[in-house]
Structure 1
């Protein structure tokens, strides 16, 4: 691929990434991943003898073979294909490509995996452990609010860490911009609202209206890795299940609501899922709960 061709392709990629950020409101970690995915495709494209920016079957198959040969996980390949498909549609909509058929651009089939959720008692213990740490009070208050938002409101970690003072004008509801720019209104439990107020009041740094409220020791927004390390330390100290991570609190939020009889479509809205099938994958009910529902609702259940 000639240098000027590579530069033109990279320019279109940058335009697409900016569109995802400014218009679709994708999270920064998703945009970073998509940037790497398209850079990988560009690397494969640069090794072709004839260059066509518009994806074709030959280059696509070569790219897939290269990824499978390198031992890439199916989840990685599926994400990269999704990124290329999204980029191609963007190029078509903006007149960079003419009419395009992407029906042949297939992602590898992924096994259905049910997310793990910790128990109610383990979720409560995880939050309770924060008050026992020897950390500064404001850090314990901050981390308590973070975990409460994930378990009490079902927020993703990135959504939690993006909360600003402007989000908190009404502590009864949070307006969240989630994946793909999807906006949802999430009710806030009193215990979560109290934790948020406490965290804000004890924070030693001046908070700005449009900047995240959760700060690190250095006064900059705390990152997801710091929260992951915090939960890992708590998990080890309390001998909690190995799958205990910040995201399992979101799973627990959905699973515990569903197990208590919550409506699946309402839970879908709270989680911010576009598809009900996604919610069904993220939540699961134990076998006894399924048996109880079957016995209570089937018209022949009480017949002899």
Structure 2
């Protein structure tokens, strides 16, 4: 029993030592991210020992993780970087990486279509929200393609001359124009510059949890599918705008997509559409 325990501790320390040496090359957020991945994987595979870890061990660990596909891919890439570094060292106990160059994670089924509401469903959702603040913020979230965090961060000073200044993902900012009808509704009860555009009863800005609660309540009242969330409105406006003839570049700029490829995945071929309908001969 004592011998077995010593052997187990020795294997753990071996993995940890290699991990520490690898992490010495990184700092800041990268070091933290890499460290978290190595720690989780080492805890799951420590009984194998560095030289005994194989592709099956890594695949099994990744499959058991309760996380998004993109997170699994991130973990795999970090492990690939780690093992590639190990085999380059003079005292490496392994000659080849257990991940292999060709090992990729299969992409999950594309469920985007399931998270796009029809225009009639969006209208029903907005109408089912309480009149005033709730109905207005759902309409703005849809028409401007806002993320829930962007909506919660809006102050009146960000709304000027028919446009809103949006501070979004990755610290990027963009300006989004809104319709005259919606602009008129927003300005009907305008507050001072520094006040939140959508506030709670105490005057503080609504939190994402507050907005999600409004969405869930309105979706249930409208008889919409389970799982409707704030982000469904963003998916929906992208699809509706493109299918109604909006330029992909306009949708990309308005939603703050970093790549046009992200935007065009919302474009769909409508029943009965033909190339000849878009040209004049």
TM-score band by shorter chain is 0.5 to 0.7
User: Bigger radius of gyration, 1 or 2?
Assistant: 2
The change in CA–CA distance for 1:173 and 1:68 in structure 2 (over 3 A counts) is same
How far is the alpha carbon of 1:164 from its aligned partner?
A: 1.6
Contact between 1:148 and 1:195, CA under 8 Å: does it hold in 2? no
**1:60-104 alpha-carbon deviations (Å, 9 max, x no partner):** 99766533244655344135568x69xx9xxxxxxxxxxxxxxx6
d(CA) in 1 for partners of 2:279 and 2:193? Answer: 55
Q: Which of 142, 148, 151 is 2:139 aligned to?
A: 148
Q: State the TM-score, normalized to the length of structure 1.
A: 0.62
Cα RMSD between the aligned structures?
3.9
Q: Which residue of 1 aligns with 2:262?
A: 278
Provide Cα deviations, 1:130-173, integer angstroms capped at 9, x if missing partner.
3xx4xxxxxx42222321221111111111111122212x1312
Aligned residues of 1:141 and 1:195 also touching (Cα < 8 A): no
After the TM superposition, which residues 8-157 of structure 1 pair with which residues of structure 2 at under 5 Å, given as runs? Answer: 12-13=27-28, 40-41=36-37, 43-44=39-40, 65-70=60-65, 72-78=67-73, 80=75, 108-110=105-107, 111-115=109-113, 116-130=115-129, 133=130, 140-157=131-148
Alignment of 1:171-186 (within 5 A): 171-186=161-176
Q: Distance in 2 between matches of 1:222 and 1:39?
A: 35
Q: Residues 221 and 38 from structure 1, CA distance in 2 versus in 1: closer, same or farther, beyond 3 angstroms?
A: farther
State whether residues 267 and 279 of structure 1, in contact with CA within 8 Å, keep that contact through their aligned partners in structure 2.
yes
In the aligned structure 2, how far is the partner of 1:113 from the partner of 1:45? 29
Kindly tell me the number of residue pairs found equivalent between the two proteins: 235
| Distance in 2 of aligned mates of 1:123 and 1:42 | 44
Distance 1:106 1:278 in 2: 25
Tell me the SS of whatever aligns to 1:174. Answer: strand
User: For 2:67 and 2:40, how far apart are their aligned partners in 1?
Assistant: 15
Match of 1:265 in 2: 249
Unpaired stretches in structure 1, ≥5 consecutive residues: 18-34, 50-57, 89-103, 134-139, 202-206
Check whether the contact 1:141–1:198 (CA below 8 A) recurs between aligned residues: no
Q: Matches of 2:148 and 2:188 in 1, distance apart?
A: 20
Could you say which residue in structure 1 is the equivalent of 2:208?
224
Who is 2:149 aligned against?
A: 158
Give, in whole Å, the separation in 1 of the partners of 2:119 and 2:228. 12
- Indicate if the aligned counterparts of 2:41 and 2:61 stay in contact, CA closer than 8 A: no
**Structure with more contact order per residue of length (Cα contacts < 8 Å, sep ≥ 6):** 1
